[in-house]
Amino acid sequence: MRRRRSFPLIHTGRPWRIAYWVFPYDFNHQIFPNPRSPLVWDPSAIFTYLTGSALFVIVALIPDFAAIRDRSTGTRKLIYGALAMGWRGTPRQWKMQTIVGVLLSALILPVFVSVHSIVSWDFAVSLVPIWHATVFAPYFVIGAVHSGVSAVLTLMAIMRKFFGWKNQLRPEHFDAIGRLLIAVACAWLYFFMLDVFYAIYAAEPAELTVMELRFFSWPWGALFWVVLITSFIIPIPLWLKRSNRRNITLMFWSSILVNIGMWSERFWLIVPGLQRKEEFTYMWNVYNPNLVEIGLVVGSVAMVGLFLLLFSKVCPPIPLWEIKEGQKFTAEIPLGRMRVPAIVKE
């Protein structure tokens, strides 16, 4: 998600032309806004997702900004004071904080689904062979969950190791995510196979030809096995065992495998469709990334790390108030005028 956030402009192709789509800009050259184009759908979805996620993070951090304000002095106190907006921690403010967490989660989940569906439609509404399967939307959504949750697992393991968060990121969290990923990976494999079977059932010659290239020609055939082995065949049997799911090192490396596999899957899914047969030579014109494109990919990976580190430097990545809440209610306790059922943590 972060990579997508940092790349909306590059994603749109020639970003200096955004003005043409958004504003009626250049009538003389017959340029006009056209909502039928996926190039309009995509920015609208990404903008919604970006705005919603950013606002969610900021509003959930208000109590923590207040906590930092109370511990700091000078300019830092001024900045965090402004971000805390005068938060005092009244029961009403806490109640709103709890409700907004539930409301925004419920609102952002359908946006997440729509964003990945719309990204898939960027491809699926075209006529390029192997890009226009009707199953693309849910396939992209489940692929995003598989790769996204695995990336979270990787980052959790790194933070636990380097930030020393052994009490906050515990083996049971890795266990729970591992169980979730088993279900997600099975669903992903189901859609993966559906995509292939749809092509076989439809039996379009162009589709079958590219499909054959994808499975049986170099380098796509090898990449297919990389995808299948790293995204499913190795990690899933590992995660079936509880002791493995609680082994942080194993979870870290298996999630790295899934990251590699899911990135390769997108490459395998999209790029072979760009191949063109040259009629007279019977040669295939294959896409080769140039240095700029390789730089963009490497840079995007580096930017994820950079943004994460910058965020961790100025904001608590795990909400402090939720940790405090968890520590307060570890068992059933007498509290004020009542005995309250405590929050039972796994």
Partner 1 sequence: MPQILGLFKTPELAADAAQALKNAGFDPHKGDYDILTGCPYPEEVFGEHVAPHRLFLFPIIGAICGFVAGLLITGGMQVTYPMITGGKPILSLPPMVIITYEGTMLGAIIFTILGTLFESRLPNLEGGVYDPRITTDGFIGVVAQGPAERVAEAESIFQKVGAEDVVREAAAAGRTS
Residue 66, interface with partner 1 (CB under 8 A)? yes
3-state per-residue secondary structure call for 291-321: HHHHHHHHHHHHHHHHHHHHHHHHCCCCCHH
88 phi and psi angles, rounded to 5 deg: -120, -20
Q: One symbol per residue from 101 to 140: x for binding partner 1 (CB under 8 A), - otherwise; what is it?
A: --xx--xx-xx--x---x--x-------------------
User: For partner 1, which is the closer residue by CB, 20 or 284?
Assistant: 20
Cis amide prior to 219 (ω within 30 degrees)? yes
For residues 84 and 67, what is the distance between their CA atoms, to the nearest angstrom? Answer: 9
Residue 19, interface with partner 1 (CB under 8 A)? no
Interactions with partner 1, residue window 180-209 (CB under 8 A)? none
User: For partner 1, which is the closer residue by CB, 45 or 144?
Assistant: 45
241 phi and psi angles, rounded to 5 deg: -95, 130
Q: Binder to partner 1 among 4, 11, 52, 266 (CB under 8 A)? A: 52
Least separation, in Å, of the C-beta of 109 and partner 1? 10
Residue 28, interface with partner 1 (CB under 8 A)? no
Q: Binder to partner 1 among 1, 18, 79, 100 (CB under 8 A)? A: 100
Q: How many C-beta atoms lie closer than 10 Å to residue 5's C-beta?
A: 15
CB 153 within 8 A of CB 174: yes
Measuring CA to CA, how many Å separate 170 from each of 157, 164, 175, 226, 345? 10, 11, 9, 31, 11
- Reduced to 3 states (helix: H, G, I; strand: E, B; else coil), residue 339 is strand
Least separation, in Å, of the C-beta of 101 and partner 1? 10
Residue 300, interface with partner 1 (CB under 8 A)? no
Least separation, in Å, of the C-beta of 27 and partner 1? 9
Residue 87, interface with partner 1 (CB under 8 A)? yes
**And the tokens for 264?**
């390769």
CB 214 within 8 A of CB 272: yes
- Reduced to 3 states (helix: H, G, I; strand: E, B; else coil), residue 13 is coil
Q: Binder to partner 1 among 55, 296, 310, 314 (CB under 8 A)? A: 55
- Reduced to 3 states (helix: H, G, I; strand: E, B; else coil), residue 334 is strand
# of chain residues touching partner 1 (CB under 8 A): 62
Q: Binder to partner 1 among 1, 18, 39, 59 (CB under 8 A)? A: 59
User: For partner 1, which is the closer residue by CB, 164 or 336?
Assistant: 336
Distance of CA 46 to the CA centre of its chain: 12
Interaction site with partner 1 (CB under 8 A): 24, 32-37, 40-41, 44-45, 47-48, 51-52, 55-56, 59, 62-63, 66-67, 69-71, 81, 84-100, 103-104, 107-108, 110-111, 114, 118, 121, 321, 324-325, 328, 334-338, 340
